[in-house]
Structure 1
Amino acid sequence: MTLVQVWGSLAIFIICPLLGGLPLIDWLTYALTGRQLTKLGTGNVSVSAAFYHGGTLAGILAVLSEAAKGIVAILLSRMFFPVNSVWEIIALIALVMGRYWLSKGAGTTNVVWGIVVHDAIAAGLIFFISGVSFTINRNRSTAKYSVLVLLTIIIALRHPEQPEYGITTLALSTLLAWIYQQIPDDLDLSATQATSNSQTMFRFFRGDKNLKSLDVQLDATQIGQKAANLALLKKLGYSVPDGWVLFPGDDPNQIVKYLEPSVQQPLVVRSSAIGEDTQSDSAAGQYLSILNITNREMLKTAILDCQVSYLESTAREYRRTRQQQERSLGVLIQKQIEGIYSGVAFSRDPVDSVNEGVAIEVLPGDATQVVSGKVTPYRYRVIMPDLSLSVIDKDRNHSSIKIIHENSTSSTEQTIPTEILESVALLAQEMEELFQGIPQDLEWTYDGEKIWLLQVRPITTLQPIWTRKIAAEVIPGVIRPLTWSINQPLTCGVWGKLFTLVLGQKSVRDLDFNQTATLHFSRAYFNVTLLGTIFLRMGLPPESLEFLTRGESFTKPPLQSTIKNIPGLWRLLQRELNLAKDFQRDRKQIFLPTLRELETTPAKDLSAQDILERINKILAALDQATYYSILAPLSFAIRQATFQISETSLNHRQTPELESMRTLACLAADTRKLLAAEKITLNSCASLFVQIAENPEGESILTRFEQWLEKYGYLSEVATDIAVPRWRENPRPIREIFTQFFFDAEKRKQAQSLNHKTSKSWLTKSVQKRLNLKNHSSEIYNKLLAHLRWSFLALEQIWLREGKLLTPESIFFLKFDEIISFIQEPSSDAHQQLFKLIEQRQQKWQQERELNQIPYLVYGYPDSTVLNNFSLSSLERPRFKGIGGSGGEIEGYIKVLSSLNSNIDVDKQTILVVPYTDAGWSPVLARVGGLIAEVGGRLSHGAIIAREYKIPAVMDIPHATQLLQTGQRVRINGYTGIVEIIS
């Protein structure tokens, strides 16, 4: 390369981007009209914006100015390089980059005219082939990308001996394609901004093939959710008025010529904007709907008015405040139904969201009266038969439907037929079921023969949806602020890293993983809406959402989505394959040294500042331990499902809670031998330990018991909750279990002989290794949490002595950042503020702790007052269906046990009903005949322990502790998951 060409390349890389970013269109429009395009409409400085805001002259000058940029870039290259050299294409790349990064334009016009000057023959071939293709296909979106492909191929074929031409042209085409994905191009914007003056210019690029009716499947990303939903419902056989859609970029004249509105058959024009009627944004009232269109001139005007409404200041402000991208607006045109009764229906009350009734507002006449807000409609609440999947009999029984006229007064008569209200309510429930459990808002009308669906959309005020499913198993019970301030960022952080690993940084940059979980009524809930968004981006079908909202089995991803996510899945697979090696590395380098230091240096001997450093060290280890505590169970579940390894062929002996019970039973057996010659008359814990202490050799038993506590004392009723005491702190329940093992030979023998199976096939061994890894990671995780609890308790003791706290365990009502501030920046009145804060939170926590009926699904951000109308009466049934966790069938008597602090007098005829099953429940489960749990699945603690003890278990029966009562006789089937009340 000569010195001239070196200077030429520098000129291209410096001048062309600046030339591309030069806002000539904005300047020209401002000079002619006084309007600044950057402050109008979408803010895009584009040719179509110049036409719309500046008129025909401004638009024509805009086209000429952008064409001139492309030509100048080519001429600049020719000043330093030969004519038609590859540097001309490089100059266009630099120009387009400047056009996008400096003025947010696509640069299509620049490239078109630049290619014409660079290679007129190639440009002619591209125009001819694409023109013929578009004439046949008439699909502008496809044509736009097809031209880029043609550009690459034809330029490459024109220079077969010079591959650099094909490479640089491919780079140019790829850049343009990427920009098209980032911003609406000039043609997209023309769809909603074009006036009659600009329509002629773009008419060729609009085509008429995309004039589709609601009888075909529609893509919401192209035509908006409103039209796409109605097309889906029409396909499924619901009564939806005939309709047609005008895609963004289509010529409205085509549809105006096709349709023939009249007084006898009027039409209605509705907006169907991309971004309208979504789960997060309804855009209600932002865009126009125009009724009673009786001729073609009215239709043409209505379409234009509807399109222009997208640019109204209120609509722009609505999109801006909700951080919506500026996209485009489709138009939906339908036959207008003359309704006798019309209204709206909400499958779930948007104000009283926990109430199961369907809310209906209705008036005689068409639906516009109700949504206009100018007339007070009749309001009804329709209580439907429960359709929960935990109930076997889901037949709809009209006799059990209850209708409440909510605004009924002496001057208001019920004029709406009951059968219409019942049908609308059933329709609303069907819509919620159809759209994966997301509450729906229906606009409907009844014409004397049938009910027509005019609109179906999510109730955005009930977003996000939160579920206790899984969350109630991960961290069950009523949670204190300190526990949540530790667990929430750890858990959400790890899930965020895993989802980012699969989807890539770009695909998750708009997601807030800190919102993966939250507290409602002091209980943990997972964000269904956020997880649903993640599922969709991973290519999982929408039905996967019902795994969290309705208890359905998780839907397998289609092959297409699996292929799409191969890069992310490969990254996740690499993590999975290296999981054991990585854990052993971190166990050696992080976990064991940290635990060794914690065990050899008691927290009670440290100062407050030293304890804070100790806590931070534990949290650093916990951050990595949380990763393994989530990924190891996931890896185990995937391998077990993939290799189809049954639970009976696996050895759970290394599960900490099972191993603890086995060794405790062995100690009880040795104690039995030691005291075999003595008469033990009282079957009580206290008398047994007295006799052990009085025996000459009893000291060895007590020493072994203390060693057992030292080894397994980190476990508790809820190991994931640092506010719950560990066994080491309160050994009384363990002493009672030890006593039961001592007197019950059968249970003792069963616990001693737990699971001695050995893996045979290499597939079973592979799954077994993952099960062992799961157990080892769980042990590390729970030990670190125990030491974290003990560190906070040591800090609390210091503050109690100093008068900074008043009562034990009160530190758990502070958040971690508040504790840090209190240590690092103490003030004279800080402790008084803490007293008030703790008192307020204790009162709130105690009130919410006493709430008995907590919904498993929560909508939006409710407070505890919404529970005033919540009732489980609609869920009461003689039979329930959950998940079979451990095979077998048994009849027995219910024992409801809300916590391990309750009475634990159980036997083999007892069917235990519990809210959850964590490690601490294993001592009780060793002595019962069956188990029913409100949460959990086949891989939960309760199910694993039940299988080891060979007792039937049914998991995932929501509200079981309220719906079933102590003393009831029931039959449970651990294979089918069915629970039947006998008496």
Structure 2
Amino acid sequence: MYRTEWRPNLNNSASANMSKLSKAQTLEFFSTKLTTAYVLPQIVCTFEQWIENRDAIVHQVLQQLNPPYVVRSSAGDEDKHEQSLAGAYLSLLNVEATCDSLIKSVNEVFDSYQRQCPEDQVFIQSMLQQPDYAGVMFSQDPSTGAPYYIISVDQSGSTDSVTSGRDSEGSTYVIAHESVVSHIWLQQLIDLYKQLQPYYPDTALDIEFAIKDNLVYLFQVRPLQTRSLRDLPVAAYQLEQRCIYKKLHRLTQRHPYLLGATGLYGVMPDWNPAEIIGIKPKPLALSLYKELITDHIWAVQRFNYGYRDLRGFPLLLVLGGTPYIDIRVSFNSFVPSKLDADLAERLVNFYLNKLKQQPHLHDKVEFQVVYSCYSFDLQERLNELLDAGFSPTDLQKISSSLLELTNSIIADQSGVWQSDLKSIESLQQRQEQILNSDLNKLDKIYWLLEDCKRYGTLAFAGLARAGFIAVQLLNSMKGCGLLSETEHKQFLLSLNTVSSELVNDHETLDKQNFLNKYGHLRPGTYDILSARYDEAPELYFGSAQSGEYSQPGSREFSISLSRLNSLNQALQQAGFHVDAIALFNFIKKAIEAREYSKFVFTKSLSDTLVCIEQLGMQLGFSKTELAYTDIKDILKLHSTTLSAQETLHSSIQLGMNYHALCQWIKLPVLISDPADAACFQMLPGEPNFITSLSVTAPCCEADPYADLSGKIVFIEAADPGYDWLFSKHIAALVTQYGGCNSHMAIRAAELGIPAVIGAGERLYQYWKQASILQLDCHSKKVAVIQ
């Protein structure tokens, strides 16, 4: 039989000796060692043996192995500690039991090697048919080296969909080492790893497997290039894991001031921190977001707009360095204040249960889970409550309270959003006063942030709420046939937002005037390390003009008299206090005001970051170091005699240490049980498709130095600071995080750029690996072309 007979001596240096084995030799070795898994019988031949004895080898395969076959690569440079070359060479599945098929397949595999050496191998096995599970297991997080099993599995019966990158329907499980798993098959894989691990000490493993009829089959094991667990601060890591579990256990209990039986936590609902500051933000960005919005401001705004009083409840909590929205608190805040407590309690529990049962809605809660305003399709949406035990009277009460709340917000002259718009205008004046004053850096930081909260983010939060209601009303008009698809699109094109002004101004204004207006913007709004537009204009804009996206000379929206009459009739029947003209005015102004208010308040934030940088320079701290401080420590210096040098040094060290520790912590995007912190299944993405356009184009990441023209551009978060992309003639946009009501979604719709917002981690990574994608927003489909 053609197989390699040499066996290593593994008594002394197991890892070193295993690295000398080829892929085929490794499987042959473990075929007699494993008690937790099986290795399929194989026939191995070297390139030299194949050239000399091809017919005998083929005859041996046909006689000894059951068809169909898999012909697999085993080159001398595969699966080494230095490089794995995973997927670099060809392996062929379902090879027929004929001499010609085998000869052709083995030749193709050998031909796929960069160059054939006499010792290079190919091996042939019987093909495992229709396994129950097939996939790949990493013994550590490949990105960080963190102690988690990462198991990607396909249950379609395919044995290569995960490894080939074609898998878009499988599942990925993340399991902390030493945690308890509930699925037997997951425990079987962990047991397999534990049996393999002693042969690869201090080495992470990449294991290909299949499971059929409760039997595990080992297809391949190789070293995984990642950070060593020897770098893990074990005591601190274990303490943080325990603290996460205890905090979740405590927070999921009943609270006397909160509706809802249990807690729920996510990175995307409501003020979606994953989109704005990221999954693992540095301490300064995180603390600024909490200070300016999620600690207090958010609840004041909701109360001012007629919702339940949640003042005193922080919206955001931090677990292992990851910012989570307290979804139970968020759901409470979307209940109209005038709804009676019993009905409100049942409604919040309904929201919580729906999201638990349909976790893919975690980035769409305001559109598909909660009822936060009145819309033309509300009555139809409310019908799902009947199946959950609500009465028709309950539905009427909910509808009436939402109608009253919505009427008070959209009122043409007296709506609360009008006063928010005036606050934003006041903020612009106050910004200049502070920046032009003789105040020292600490005082400027304090007052820029105080004004930003009082006149900026509080107003922005309100205008964002008005903007959401505007979008909800506009979409429901289209959904109910009160507005056609064409009219809906024309209305969006009639909007005059900061985004459209930026594109036009980039073409018409000279460089200095353009930067005077837009220079404060940063792609990472809260990140001191993210360069402002005026700090690196060539980075974001270069010398290219944005003519491809210049707006038409006239973008006026018009609508027929008969359509207006139908809308007025629908408004009157629903109980709205405005007519169609007033409603369109509100929708237009609210959407534009939302973008404008963010543009204004981010100047206060951006200038604050400049002042922090200048203060740090005076004290000998770099911008990189300052990213790890906490804004509360800086603000303490305004009202105390603490040493600025010592306070910042201590804050930076604490922030650096905790941020470094948190890189080892991996958590799900949605937590419904404390146990989820240690063992969870990643959510499949359900993206938000923007526009109804279709495009086929090459893919690339958002590199300001690259030529992005005509490309489908990938960015992790749908942060509006990436507006510079729209001046680069991009074909389309794909983001990992972001909701259908995010800023980038609004801007993509306005500019008529096809986009997939919030693809989710798995689909985002899958699509990003493609060379060419077809993005069909109308059919809500993305296809890998190449």
**Shorter-chain TM-score: which interval?**
0.5 to 0.7
**Percent identity (aligned):** 14
Match of 2:656 in 1: 842
Match of 1:740 among 544, 554, 557: 544
Match of 2:66 in 1: none
Contact between 1:483 and 1:723, CA under 8 Å: does it hold in 2?
A: no
Contact between 2:697 and 2:731, CA under 8 Å: does it hold in 1?
A: yes
Matched to 2:496, the amino acid is Q
Match of 2:188 among 379, 401, 404: 404
Note if 1:771 corresponds to 2:605: no
How far residue 710 of structure 1 moved from its aligned partner, in angstroms, is: 1.3
Note if 1:705 corresponds to 2:505: no
**For the residues of structure 2 that align with 1:421 and 1:585, how far apart are their CA atoms?**
66
How far residue 713 of structure 1 moved from its aligned partner, in angstroms, is: 2.3
Contact between 1:466 and 1:525, CA under 8 Å: does it hold in 2?
A: yes
Contact between 1:653 and 1:754, CA under 8 Å: does it hold in 2?
A: no
User: CA distance change for structure 1 residues 849 and 707 in 2, over 3 Å: closer, same or farther?
Assistant: farther
Partner SS for 2:621: coil
How far residue 520 of structure 1 moved from its aligned partner, in angstroms, is: 4.3
Note if 1:753 corresponds to 2:514: no
User: CA distance change for structure 1 residues 963 and 518 in 2, over 3 Å: closer, same or farther?
Assistant: farther
**For the residues of structure 2 that align with 1:624 and 1:975, how far apart are their CA atoms?**
36
Match of 2:606 among 765, 780, 789: 789
Match of 2:83 in 1: none
How far residue 538 of structure 1 moved from its aligned partner, in angstroms, is: 6.7
In the TM superposition, what are the counterparts of 1:692-731 in structure 2 within 5 Å?
704-719=510-525, 724-731=530-537
Q: Deviations over 1:387-431 (max 9, x none)?
A: 9xx9975899xxx97661757999xxxxxx997999xxxxxxxxx
How far residue 609 of structure 1 moved from its aligned partner, in angstroms, is: 5.5
Note if 1:513 corresponds to 2:297: no
User: CA distance change for structure 1 residues 666 and 981 in 2, over 3 Å: closer, same or farther?
Assistant: same
Which ranges in structure 2 are unaligned for 5 or more consecutive residues? 1-138, 143-148, 157-165, 173-183, 196-210, 217-247, 253-262, 336-343, 370-380, 386-391, 568-579
Contact between 1:382 and 1:401, CA under 8 Å: does it hold in 2?
A: no
Note if 1:890 corresponds to 2:724: no
Matched to 2:641, the amino acid is P
Note if 1:466 corresponds to 2:300: no
Matched to 1:624, the amino acid is L
Note if 1:821 corresponds to 2:632: no
Matched to 1:970, the amino acid is L
Note if 1:973 corresponds to 2:776: yes
Contact between 2:520 and 2:603, CA under 8 Å: does it hold in 1?
A: yes
Match of 1:655 among 482, 497, 504: 497
Contact between 2:549 and 2:726, CA under 8 Å: does it hold in 1?
A: no
User: CA distance change for structure 1 residues 714 and 815 in 2, over 3 Å: closer, same or farther?
Assistant: same
Contact between 2:698 and 2:772, CA under 8 Å: does it hold in 1?
A: yes
**For the residues of structure 2 that align with 1:401 and 1:863, how far apart are their CA atoms?**
18
Partner SS for 1:513: coil
Partner SS for 1:539: helix
In the TM superposition, what are the counterparts of 1:314-713 in structure 2 within 5 Å?
385=154, 393=169, 404=188, 463=252, 464-470=263-269, 471-472=272-273, 475-477=276-278, 478-488=280-290, 490-491=293-294, 493-497=296-300, 513-514=313-314, 516-520=315-319, 522-531=321-330, 537=345, 539=347, 541-542=350-351, 544-545=354-355, 549-551=359-361, 554-555=368-369, 556-557=381-382, 558=385, 560-565=393-398, 568-569=401-402, 572-578=405-411, 581-582=414-415, 586=419, 590-602=423-435, 605-608=438-441, 610-611=443-444, 612-644=446-478, 645=483, 646=485, 647-650=488-491, 651=493, 653-667=495-509, 704-713=510-519
How far residue 521 of structure 1 moved from its aligned partner, in angstroms, is: 5.3
Contact between 1:952 and 1:974, CA under 8 Å: does it hold in 2?
A: yes
Matched to 1:817, the amino acid is K
User: CA distance change for structure 1 residues 405 and 599 in 2, over 3 Å: closer, same or farther?
Assistant: closer
How far residue 974 of structure 1 moved from its aligned partner, in angstroms, is: 0.9
How far residue 835 of structure 1 moved from its aligned partner, in angstroms, is: 0.9
How far residue 841 of structure 1 moved from its aligned partner, in angstroms, is: 1.4
Partner SS for 1:524: strand
**For the residues of structure 2 that align with 1:812 and 1:407, how far apart are their CA atoms?**
42
User: CA distance change for structure 1 residues 859 and 722 in 2, over 3 Å: closer, same or farther?
Assistant: farther
Matched to 2:266, the amino acid is T
Match of 2:755 in 1: 953
Partner SS for 1:964: helix
How far residue 656 of structure 1 moved from its aligned partner, in angstroms, is: 0.5
How far residue 779 of structure 1 moved from its aligned partner, in angstroms, is: 1.9
How far residue 722 of structure 1 moved from its aligned partner, in angstroms, is: 6.7
Contact between 2:736 and 2:760, CA under 8 Å: does it hold in 1?
A: yes
**For the residues of structure 1 that align with 2:601 and 2:614, how far apart are their CA atoms?**
20
Q: Deviations over 1:832-873 (max 9, x none)?
A: 34313203313544676799x874234667999x6xx9898x
Q: Which has the higher helix share?
A: 1
Matched to 1:894, the amino acid is C
TM-score scaled by structure 1? 0.44
How far residue 648 of structure 1 moved from its aligned partner, in angstroms, is: 0.5
Note if 1:914 corresponds to 2:715: yes
User: CA distance change for structure 1 residues 404 and 513 in 2, over 3 Å: closer, same or farther?
Assistant: same
Match of 2:3 in 1: none
Matched to 1:932, the amino acid is V
User: CA distance change for structure 1 residues 827 and 548 in 2, over 3 Å: closer, same or farther?
Assistant: farther
Q: Deviations over 1:224-262 (max 9, x none)?
A: xxxxxxxxxxxxxxxxxxxxxxxxxxxxxxxxxxxxxxx
Partner SS for 1:915: strand
**For the residues of structure 1 that align with 2:605 and 2:641, how far apart are their CA atoms?**
22
Contact between 2:495 and 2:592, CA under 8 Å: does it hold in 1?
A: no
Matched to 1:835, the amino acid is H
Matched to 1:914, the amino acid is I
Contact between 1:793 and 1:809, CA under 8 Å: does it hold in 2?
A: no
How far residue 811 of structure 1 moved from its aligned partner, in angstroms, is: 4.1
Contact between 2:695 and 2:776, CA under 8 Å: does it hold in 1?
A: yes
**For the residues of structure 2 that align with 1:883 and 1:585, how far apart are their CA atoms?**
30
Q: Deviations over 1:358-401 (max 9, x none)?
A: xxxxxxxxxxxxxxxxxxxxxx99987589xx9975899xxx97
In the TM superposition, what are the counterparts of 1:827-906 in structure 2 within 5 Å?
827=642, 831-845=645-659, 855-858=668-671, 882-897=687-702, 903-906=705-708
How far residue 589 of structure 1 moved from its aligned partner, in angstroms, is: 5.4
Matched to 2:449, the amino acid is I
Which ranges in structure 1 are unaligned for 5 or more consecutive residues? 1-351, 356-379, 411-416, 423-458, 668-703, 742-746
Matched to 1:969, the amino acid is I
Q: Which has the larger radius of gyration?
A: 1
User: CA distance change for structure 1 residues 578 and 733 in 2, over 3 Å: closer, same or farther?
Assistant: farther
How far residue 906 of structure 1 moved from its aligned partner, in angstroms, is: 1.5
How far residue 602 of structure 1 moved from its aligned partner, in angstroms, is: 2.2
**For the residues of structure 2 that align with 1:395 and 1:613, how far apart are their CA atoms?**
49
Match of 2:767 among 956, 959, 964: 964
**For the residues of structure 2 that align with 1:808 and 1:522, how far apart are their CA atoms?**
20
Partner SS for 1:519: strand
Matched to 2:405, the amino acid is L
Contact between 1:662 and 1:753, CA under 8 Å: does it hold in 2?
A: no
TM-score scaled by structure 2? 0.54
**RMSD of the TM alignment (CA)?**
4.8
Partner SS for 1:922: helix
Matched to 2:460, the amino acid is T
Q: Deviations over 1:471-508 (max 9, x none)?
A: 15651435333333343352454553466579976xx6
**For the residues of structure 2 that align with 1:548 and 1:579, how far apart are their CA atoms?**
37
**For the residues of structure 2 that align with 1:588 and 1:971, how far apart are their CA atoms?**
41
How far residue 661 of structure 1 moved from its aligned partner, in angstroms, is: 0.6
User: CA distance change for structure 1 residues 518 and 753 in 2, over 3 Å: closer, same or farther?
Assistant: farther
**For the residues of structure 2 that align with 1:924 and 1:589, how far apart are their CA atoms?**
31
**For the residues of structure 2 that align with 1:595 and 1:613, how far apart are their CA atoms?**
13
**For the residues of structure 2 that align with 1:732 and 1:929, how far apart are their CA atoms?**
21
